[in-house]
C-alpha cells in the first residue's frame, strides 16, 4: 500500500518553486557530459540505465531545484526505466535539463524523455555499432595485421574524436533545442503534456513488445505430432502475448500495493523454475 501512495504523489505533484530563471551555464553542462560516461554504472535488467541517467543530471537538478521536495520529485521521476544509446544520451540530457530549468510539468518531461530514448537507441546502434566501429576497427586492423603500432593508436584517436565530439556537441545542441522548443510551446502547458504523454505511451507500448524477452522453449507431443507451444500456439494467438501479460500482471500487482522488490523475487523464481523445467 505504502508504495502506491508514494507514486500517487509523484503523478499529481505540483512544482512548489516555479521560478524559471536560467541557472545552468556552459560549465555545468560540460560537467554533466563527463558524468554521462557513467550512464551504465548501475545497469540492471529492471531499470536498465535509470540509475546512471539520474546520476548524470544530478548537478543540474540540484542547481535547478532549490526546493527539497521538488528535487526529490525530480529524482524519483528520473529513477524510472531508462535506456538509450550511451553516445546519444547527452542530447536527451540537454533537452530534459532545459525543460527542468523552465519548470515544465513532470508529466511533460517524462513523456519527452521516454519519447526520445527509444528512437535514439536505434539510431545510435546503427550509427556507432554498425558503422563507426566497423570502419575504424577495420582500418586499424589492416594496419595492425602488418605489426604496425599505428593501428590501435589511430583507432582510439579516430573513434574518440567522434565519440567525445558528439557527446559535447549534442549536450549543448540539445539544451539549445530544448530552450527553443519551450518558448515555441508556451501556450497551453496542459495540451503539451497531453501530447508528450501520447508519444510517451506509444513508445512504451513498443518497448514492452521489443525489450522483454519472455518466450517458452517448450514442445509437447500431441499424439504423434510435436507441438511447439510458443511458435504454434502463443504466437498464433498474438505475438508478444507473454511479455504483455507479464507487464500487465506486474502493473496490477503494483496497484495492489505489492513492492517492486517482491516482483523481482517473483521474476527470479519464474526464471529459475522455467530453466529447471526446461521450458524457457
Looking at the DSSP assignment, which residues form a beta bridge with residue 226? 221
List the x/- string, 173-212, binding to another protein by CB under 8 A.
Answer: ------------------x--xxxxxxxxxxxxxxxxxxx
* Alpha carbons 223 and 234: distance in angstroms, whole number: 20
Residues shown for the chain = 280
Which 8-state DSSP code applies to residue 227?
A: E
CA 266, distance to chain mean position in Å, is 23
| Least distance in angstroms from the C-beta of 261 to another protein | 6
| Least distance in angstroms from the C-beta of 33 to another protein | 13
Which residues in 17-56 contact another protein (CB under 8 A)? 37-48, 50-52, 54-55
* Alpha carbons 103 and 71: distance in angstroms, whole number: 11
- In angstroms, the Cα distances linking 270 to 164, 260, 278, 280 are 42, 15, 12, 9
> Could you say which of 20, 30, 72, 189 contacts another protein (CB under 8 A)?
72
Q: How far apart are the first and last CA of the chain?
A: 32
When asked if residue 239 is in the footprint of another protein (CB under 8 A), the reply is yes
For 277, list phi and psi in degrees, rounded to 5.
-80, -10
* Alpha carbons 193 and 94: distance in angstroms, whole number: 19
Q: Measured from the CB atom, is 29 or 109 closer to another protein?
A: 109
Q: Measured from the CB atom, is 26 or 190 closer to another protein?
A: 190
When asked if residue 165 is in the footprint of another protein (CB under 8 A), the reply is no
Instruction: Locate all alpha helices (DSSP H) within the chain, ordered by sequence.
Output: 2-12, 26-35, 50-64, 68-78, 89-101, 106-124, 133-144, 150-184, 189-211, 235-237, 241-255, 260-277
Which residues in 96-155 contact another protein (CB under 8 A)? 107, 110-111, 114-115, 118-119, 121-123, 125, 129-130, 133-134, 137-138, 140-145, 147-149, 151-152, 155
| Least distance in angstroms from the C-beta of 15 to another protein | 14
> Could you say which of 75, 177, 181, 229 contacts another protein (CB under 8 A)?
75
> Could you say which of 17, 172, 177, 240 contacts another protein (CB under 8 A)?
240
| Least distance in angstroms from the C-beta of 48 to another protein | 7
| Cell numbers given for 163 | 565519440
Which residues in 214-233 contact another protein (CB under 8 A)? 214
When asked if residue 156 is in the footprint of another protein (CB under 8 A), the reply is yes
* Alpha carbons 259 and 265: distance in angstroms, whole number: 10
| Least distance in angstroms from the C-beta of 226 to another protein | 22
| Least distance in angstroms from the C-beta of 222 to another protein | 25
Q: Which of 249, 239, 247 is nearest to 215 (CA)?
A: 239
Other beta carbons within 10 angstroms of residue 148's beta carbon come to 13
When asked if residue 71 is in the footprint of another protein (CB under 8 A), the reply is yes
When asked if residue 263 is in the footprint of another protein (CB under 8 A), the reply is yes
- The contacts of residue 173 (CB under 8 Å, 6+ apart) are 91, 94
Q: Measured from the CB atom, is 56 or 179 closer to another protein?
A: 56
When asked if residue 161 is in the footprint of another protein (CB under 8 A), the reply is no
Amino acid at each position: 500500500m505504502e508504495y502506491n501512495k508514494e507514486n500517487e504523489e509523484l503523478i499529481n505533484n505540483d512544482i512548489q518553486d516555479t521560478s524559471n530563471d536560467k541557472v545552468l551555464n556552459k560549465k555545468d553542462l560540460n560537467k554533466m557530459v563527463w558524468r554521462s560516461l557513467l550512464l551504465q554504472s548501475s545497469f540492471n535488467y529492471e531499470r536498465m540505465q535509470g540509475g546512471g541517467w539520474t546520476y548524470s543530471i544530478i548537478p543540474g537538478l540540484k542547481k535547478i531545484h532549490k526546493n527539497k521536495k521538488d528535487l526529490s520529485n525530480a529524482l524519483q521521476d528520473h529513477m524510472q526505466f531508462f535506456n538509450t544509446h550511451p553516445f546519444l544520451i547527452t542530447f536527451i540530457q540537454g533537452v530534459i535539463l532545459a525543460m527542468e530549468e523552465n519548470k515544465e510539468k513532470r508529466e511533460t518531461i517524462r513523456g519527452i524523455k521516454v519519447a526520445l530514448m527509444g528512437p535514439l537507441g536505434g539510431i545510435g546502434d546503427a550509427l556507432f555499432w554498425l558503422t563507426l566501429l566497423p570502419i575504424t576497427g577495420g582500418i586499424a586492423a589492416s594496419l595492425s595485421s602488418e605489426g604496425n603500432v599505428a593501428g590501435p593508436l589511430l583507432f582510439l584517436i579516430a573513434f574518440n574524436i567522434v565519440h567525445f565530439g558528439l557527446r559535447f556537441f549534442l549536450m549543448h545542441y540539445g539544451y539549445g533545442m530544448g530552450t527553443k522548443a519551450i518558448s515555441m510551446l508556451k501556450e497551453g502547458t496542459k495540451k503539451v503534456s497531453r501530447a508528450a504523454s501520447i508519444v510517451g505511451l506509444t513508445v512504451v507500448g513498443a518497448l514492452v513488445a521489443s525489450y522483454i524477452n519472455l518466450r517458452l522453449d517448450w514442445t509437447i507431443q500431441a499424439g504423434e505430432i510435436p507441438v511447439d507451444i510458443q511458435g504454434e500456439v502463443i504466437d498464433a494467438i498474438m505475438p508478444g502475448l507473454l511479455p504483455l501479460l507479464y507487464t500487465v500482471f506486474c502493473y496490477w500487482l503494483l496497484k495492489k500495493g505489492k513492492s517492486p522488490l517482491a516482483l523481482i523475487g517473483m521474476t527470479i523464481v519464474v526464471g529459475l523454475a522455467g530453466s529447471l523445467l526446461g521450458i524457457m
